[in-house]
Amino acid sequence: MQCILCKKKDCLQGRNCSLIKSELEYSEKEKKELLISALFQAESEKKRKLEEIVIYAKKMEYTKIGIAFAIEYEKEARLVYNILSRYFEIYSVCCKVCGFGKEDFGIPKKEASEFEAACNPKGQARLLNEDGAELNLMLGLDTINEILFSENSAAPALHLPEEELRFLNTERTGSKEPNRPRKPQPFKKERKVREWV
């Protein structure tokens, strides 16, 4: 397929241009997820990713959410934890879990220190699997660690965008970002999730 090169976009009119339409079947769970997505798309005010996650997880009746975070994003992970723990059981694992040294993986150290901890995305995924997380959020993991975490996560794994983390940190510190876009609208602390679900 090369949809990016298609000028007609006949699919918008219900025409099938692929060979897979008759082979696709959506489970009841997947249909429910598509319905939630359609509800988001129908709203005039775009929600922040974290708001969508709360609504989605509530509607899917999830009770346990995992947070896999890079150590540099510990403050932002704490903010996400504080928000989500109002509604769910939250489990969190930092990227340096298990205390592997870079030398354990044959990775050169950046500094001449005696010990330099390596990231352990596979360990993060395994621990959140053991906690029974039904949905995992990745905060600040680099691309390769996101791939490794996703491959080893039993639950769906979702990247929380950098912009969302910056916004959360701005809310916490009270500072203002000069060119923050108007949409999506900020996560308002006084706004109740019950209004959305």
Percent of the chain whose predicted confidence (pLDDT) is above 90:
52
- For residue 174, the model assigns a pLDDT of 54
- Residue 177's pLDDT band (boundaries 50, 70, 90)? very low
CATH superfamily of 46-178: Diphthamide synthesis DPH1/DPH2 domain 1 (3.40.50.11840)
What's the pTM? 0.79
Highest mean pLDDT among 27-31, 121-125, 178-182: 121-125
Mean pLDDT of the chain: 84
- pLDDT greater than 60 at residue 54: yes
Whether the bond into 184 is cis, omega within 30 of 0: yes
CA distance 127 to 48: 28
Query: Which range, of 78-82, 166-170, 172-176, averages the lowest pLDDT?
Result: 172-176
pLDDT for 170 equals: 64
Q: What one-letter code names the amino acid at 105?
A: F
- What is the per-residue DSSP string for 108-154? PPSSS-S--BPP-HHHHHHHHHHTT-SEEEEES--HHHHHHHHHH-S
Tens digit of each residue's pLDDT (9 = 90 or more) over 61-92: 999 999 999 999 999 999 999 999 999 999 99
CB 138, CB 146: distance < 8 Å: yes
At 85-130, the pLDDT tens digits run 999 999 999 999 998 898 888 888 887 778 889 999 999 999 999 9
**Rounded mean pLDDT, 38-45:** 85
Sign, Cα dihedral of 163, 168, 171, 175: negative
Indicate the pLDDT class of residue 169, thresholds 50, 70 and 90.
Answer: low
pLDDT of residue 50: 92
Answer whether residue 176 shows pLDDT above 90: no
Sign of CA dihedral 139, 142, 147, 148: negative
Could you tell me the pLDDT band of residue 45, with boundaries at 50, 70 and 90? confident
